[in-house]
Amino acid sequence: MKKFFIAPSILSADFARLGENIQEVLDAGADMIHFDVMDNHYVPNLTFGPMVLQSLRKYKISSPIDVHLMVNSVDSLIPVFAASGADFITFHPETSSNINETLNLIKKYGCKAGLAVNPDTSIDHLKRFFNKLDLILLMSVNPGFPGQKFIPSVLNKIYQLNQYIRNVFPNILLEVDGGININNFYDIAQAGANILVMGSAIFYAADYRKTIQFMKSKLSILC
């Protein structure tokens, strides 16, 4: 049975009451939290660091947290994010001088490891690392800012990657992030995504529970 996970991205949360707002979407049925880390170098935006993650754990946010590192020199940040409460740590291959060593480092610190792939990046040269992965994150927008539109060509990429990992590495979770909303989430899941990262589609909804339960009801058809 295929499992689906709704993962609100805190980029769209209310930072004046971050812990409370995240707990609200979890209570409404969200499964995990997506934590986007940007350094204003790898991507043209600056977000937050491990202290924010640590504060969420102190607030008693207990759901799985997927830390998506959009930063240069990822290795130095892995130990501190792991210590702050990350469950998954995902990075872009071009930010590591040695992808195998970075994946090993994530595992060493007790986290599940993921690779993130930008819309224009081929997955072919990354397949040799798949045996070490728990998660593959396909970006469906160019990383950096929330509120962008889903790039339609990524849908075929999701399908092709799902066909490959389903037959060869069935335990890898396939995550998609960027422009997912109430109108396209079903098509993205049907193409093969397990984890749907959604920001404004959830945090800007008038009723979190109604929105999440509607999506889960539709996704149950695919299970």
Q: Which residues are catalytic?
A: 36, 177
How far are the Cα atoms of 37, 61, 66, 110 from residue 23, in angstroms, in the given order? 20, 7, 16, 24
Residues 114 and 88: beta-carbon distance below 8 Å: yes
**3-class state of residue 120 by DSSP:** coil
Among 127, 126, 125, 80, which residue's Cα sits nearest to residue 106?
80
Residues 223 and 2: beta-carbon distance below 8 Å: yes
Helix (H) or strand (E) holding 151: none
Helix (H) or strand (E) holding 145: none
**3-class state of residue 87 by DSSP:** coil
Residues 87 and 66: beta-carbon distance below 8 Å: yes
Q: Which two tokens stand for residue 188?
A: 């993205």
Among 191, 211, 189, 210, which residue's Cα sits nearest to residue 200?
211
* Partner residues linked to 114 by β-bridges: 90, 135
Among 40, 22, 43, 42, which residue's Cα sits nearest to residue 32?
22
